[in-house]
Amino acid sequence: MAIPRRTVRQVIIEETKKFLVVAFYLWVIFALLVEYKSVILAEENVSIETRGLALINALALGKIIVLAQAFHLGEMAEDVPLIYPTLLKSALFSILLAIFKILEVGIVGLFHHRPFTQSITEIAGGTLKGIICVTLIMFVVLIPFFAYAEVRRVLGQDQLRHLFLHRRPVQAD
């Protein structure tokens, strides 16, 4: 049976949908972290720019995730239990996101004529402990994201979407 070839338009639409889902997931997480930080620090006047930055970060890091997925980062053999690729991808992608976040704040800092060490204080205070903590939070946050992706890969995109978004028939005991 021949596999139907996708047109460029179909590929662009599919990749754009993937990107938007990833960016939306990350935006929700980043926005919640900003709100949590404001609660912890009792900052009632968190600027709109800070909240907007959560969306910009989600879009930028979402694109990094989609590109890394296109290069099959963290792909494993088909016959391994799903927990392994889920945890591997969560770990690799959280490290990748941490590296790009450090580079991003460093480049923005250079643009504003700030030294790199001062710029990275925006990431959990800029300490190694803080950066590791944020990276571990991203690792945990990415586990359900990649678990869903792995189950979708095994069951098929339409099947998992149907299971989550449509009524299921009542099973008789």
CA atoms of 146 and 94, how far apart (whole Å)? 11
Task: Work out the number of other CB atoms within 10 angstroms of the CB of residue 145.
Answer: 19
Q: Which range is most confident: 5-9, 117-121, 128-132? A: 5-9
Interior/surface letters 148-168, b for 16+ CB within 10 angstroms, e for the rest: ebbebeeeeeeebeeeeeeee
Q: Could you tell me the pLDDT band of residue 63, with boundaries at 50, 70 and 90?
A: confident
**Are 143 and 93 spatial neighbours (Cβ–Cβ below 8 Å)?**
no
Q: What pLDDT, on a 0 to 100 scale, did the predictor assign at position 87?
A: 93
Estimate to the nearest angstrom the gap between the alpha carbon of 137 and the chain centroid: 11
Q: What pLDDT, on a 0 to 100 scale, did the predictor assign at position 42?
A: 63
Tell if the pTM clears 0.75, that is, is over it: no
- How confident is the model over 68-102, as pLDDT tens digits? 888 888 887 778 899 999 999 999 989 988 888 88
Supply φ then ψ for residue 42, to 5 degrees: 55, 40
- Dihedral over Cα of 60, 124, 97, 146: its sign: negative
